């Protein structure tokens, strides 16, 4: 089993460019049809932002 805390400690020691490459690789490894759970608070914030964008899309 991977020790996430240890992995994060090692990853945060990398230069920013390399950390961004890690983030991109992790993001790309998630299948597009993966279910994502959104909390009620997150859903409310998303709805607020969509409404704000629809009122003023610029």
Tens digits of per-residue pLDDT, 2-51? 899 999 999 999 999 999 999 999 999 999 999 989 999 999 999 999 99
Does the pTM surpass 0.85? The reply is no
Rg (CA), the chain: 17
Q: How does pLDDT run across 11-20, given as a tens digit for each residue? A: 999 999 999 9
Can you tell me the distance from the alpha carbon of 30 to that of 51, in angstroms, rounded to the nearest whole number? Answer: 28
Instruction: Identify whether the C-beta of residue 53 lies closer than 8 Å to the C-beta of residue 45.
Output: no
> What is the C-alpha separation between 45 and 8, in angstroms, rounded?
28
* Distance from C-alpha of 23 to C-alpha of 19, rounded to nearest angstrom: 6
> What are 58's two structure tokens?
């610029």
């Amino acid at each position: 089993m991977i020790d996430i805390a240890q992995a994060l400690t090692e990853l945060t020691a990398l230069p920013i460019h390399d950390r961004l490459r890690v983030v991109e690789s992790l993001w790309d490894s998630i299948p597009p049809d993966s279910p994502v759970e959104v909390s009620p608070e997150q859903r409310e914030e998303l709805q607020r932002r969509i409404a704000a964008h629809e009122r003023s899309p610029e």
